[in-house]
Amino acid sequence: MAERVRVREIDDEEGQRLLRIIRRGTGSVVTLRRAQMVLLPAQGLPVAKIAEVTFTSADRVREVIHNFNADGLDSLDPKYSGGRPKRFTLSERREIKKITKSRPAEHGLPFRPGVWPSWPASWSPRARGGNHHHLVCRSCGAVKDAGCVVGHLTCLDPVDDASYLVDEADFAFWGLCPQCRPEAG
């Protein structure tokens, strides 16, 4: 059988605060239940009965009483930790954001034409300014903005091909840039 638990002597100020918590009935339900667990032993209720009244286990009642005896009224307030610990610091999150908004070449990574999406929309300065497409060189990976096609039902021809030899359209116009284009013979 578990040892009988006793609440330490409660001074007038603590008693008044405990009664206010219980009578008011507002605020944290956890604090209300813990205040009940501290006051009910003064009425001679055994731990098992207090557990029944407060909808918890006898072990939890004993723990609350022990905590109150050691720490006073501060032990009644829940100490929520806010979920799982953060995995990245603020500076790490800022660095991740900076990397995701940059081009792969800025980090020594190769551009891989033909793999869609090859770049996020935020890489293009015109992305927020209106609808447009891109010209992508299959050879060197150079990318150039191209205005949205006007007057066609589908966007199959860029408004200005910037001298690219276009051979495919896939939200981007793929082909060879002027530097990689074979000389017309």
Domain-located, residue 91: no
Per the domain annotation, does 30 fall within a domain?
A: yes
Tell me, yes or no, whether 59 and 108 share the same domain: no
Task: Look at residues 44, 76, 108 and tell me which one is the last residue of a structural domain.
Answer: 76
CB proximity list for 51: less than 8 A, separation 6 or greater: 57, 58, 60, 61
In a domain, 25, yes or no: yes
pLDDT for position 153: 45
CA distance 44 to 47: 9
- How would you classify residue 27: left for phi > 0, otherwise alpha for psi between -120 and 50, otherwise beta? left
The answer on 68 and 28 residing in a single domain is yes
Residue 84 lies in a domain: no
What's the CA dihedral at 5, 8, 46, 23 to 10 degrees? -140
Per-residue pLDDT of the chain (185 residues; tens, 9 = 90+): 555 778 888 888 988 888 888 888 777 888 989 999 998 887 788 899 999 888 899 999 999 999 999 999 999 988 877 777 778 888 888 888 888 887 766 776 655 554 544 444 434 444 444 556 778 887 887 888 877 666 554 555 667 778 887 765 556 777 888 888 887 44
**What pLDDT is recorded for position 116?**
46
117 and 167 belong to one structural domain = yes
Domain that holds residue 22: 12-76
Asked whether residue 116 falls in the same domain as residue 150, the answer is: yes
Instruction: Tell whether 17 and 67 lie within a shared domain.
Output: yes
**The two structure tokens encoding residue 1:** 């059988």
pLDDT of residue 174: 78
Per DSSP, the chain holds a count of helices (H) and strands (E) of: 5, 4
Give the whole-angstrom CA distance, residue 15 versus residue 38.
10
Q: What's the rounded Cα separation, in Å, for the pair 156 and 31? A: 67
- Rounded distance between C-alpha atoms, residue 123 and residue 128, angstroms: 10
At residue 57's C-alpha, the angle toward residues 54 and 59, to 5°, is 120
Whether 69 contacts 8, CB under 8 Å: yes
Backbone angles phi, psi at 173, to 5 degrees: -95, 115
Same domain, 53 and 16: yes
Smallest CA-to-CA distance from 123 within 148, 138, 141, 140 is with 141
Selection from 60, 74, 78, 68 nearest residue 42 by Cα: 68
Number of domains the chain contains: 2
What is the distance, to the nearest Å, from the Cα of residue 69 to the centroid of all Cα atoms in its chain?
Answer: 39
Residue 32 CA to residue 125 CA, distance in Å, equals 56
Residue 145 belongs to some domain of the structure: yes
